Amino acid sequence: MAELGQCVVRLRGCRGMTQLELARAAGLHQDQISTLECGHFKSPGLRTLLRVARGLGITVGELLPESDGSHRAPGVGLLDEMLADATERDLRIVVAVAEALTSV
């Protein structure tokens, strides 16, 4: 999670955003952004990642440490496409399915 946090810090800095500005843009609390950036967020959920990505104006795939354009994890492009225009209802369904699959 430290790599993810570093990525968020870098992207936020490139946009000249404070943690508070990102939190507001993402619909999260500033302490959530701080925890994520410090690498203390053990396992941020898909909903949190999507909100942070949207707050930064990027895709979820661009937040992932492996995502450097040429070394994307399998399925990241598909996930980005699927979530690009997801409604809140769509997102709840995707999160529920992901949680069900990871709890097996």
All structural domains of the chain, each given as residue ranges with its CATH number in brackets, are 2-102 (1.10.260.40)
What local confidence, expressed as pLDDT, does residue 18 receive? 97
- Counting Cα atoms < 13 Å in the Cβ hemisphere of 71 gives 4
Q: How confident is the model at residue 33 (pLDDT cuts 50, 70, 90)?
A: very high
What local confidence, expressed as pLDDT, does residue 104 receive? 53
Among candidate residues 12, 4, 56, 66, the one with its CA nearest the CA of residue 35: 4
Structure pTM? 0.67
Query: Hey, what are 101's tokens?
Result: 């699959």
What local confidence, expressed as pLDDT, does residue 75 receive? 54
Mean confidence (pLDDT) of the chain: 79
What local confidence, expressed as pLDDT, does residue 82 receive? 66
| pLDDT higher at 93 or 29 | 29
Q: How confident is the model at residue 96 (pLDDT cuts 50, 70, 90)?
A: confident
